[in-house]
Amino acid sequence: DSGVTQTPKHLITATGQRVTLRCSPRSGDLSVYWYQQSLDQGLQFLIQYYNGEERAKGNILERFSAQQFPDLHSELNLSSLELGDSALYFCASSKIGIQETQYFGPGTRLLVL
């Protein structure tokens, strides 16, 4: 158990819909990262938040957005869903600082029908 929690574990929805994925980092970790893993793309970095502020952006679509709240949990919002958004979404957290190890949550499996 990494100490990072993600809800829900599974999500099934229809095209055009909007969903919210939630992540709670390990106690004391200020940084949260979101990654997407689809069958053909492997693990791809989406976005990072540190202490409530966006810190780095990867290949995140404009239809996707995220935020980190004062209690440090984070939410990833996916809207206007398409079939190709079906994937595993992982959250990771780390303390801030040089060479901090990222610890990953169990993931949310999203299926868009």
Closest separation in Å from C-beta 12 to other proteins: 16
- Judged by beta carbon, residue 16 or residue 110, the one nearer other proteins is 110
Closest separation in Å from C-beta 110 to other proteins: 13
Q: Which two tokens stand for residue 28?
A: 């004391």
**Interface contacts to other proteins, rule CB under 8 A:** 2, 4, 31, 33, 35, 42-45, 48, 55-56, 58, 88, 90, 92, 94, 96-107, 109
- Judged by beta carbon, residue 64 or residue 103, the one nearer other proteins is 103
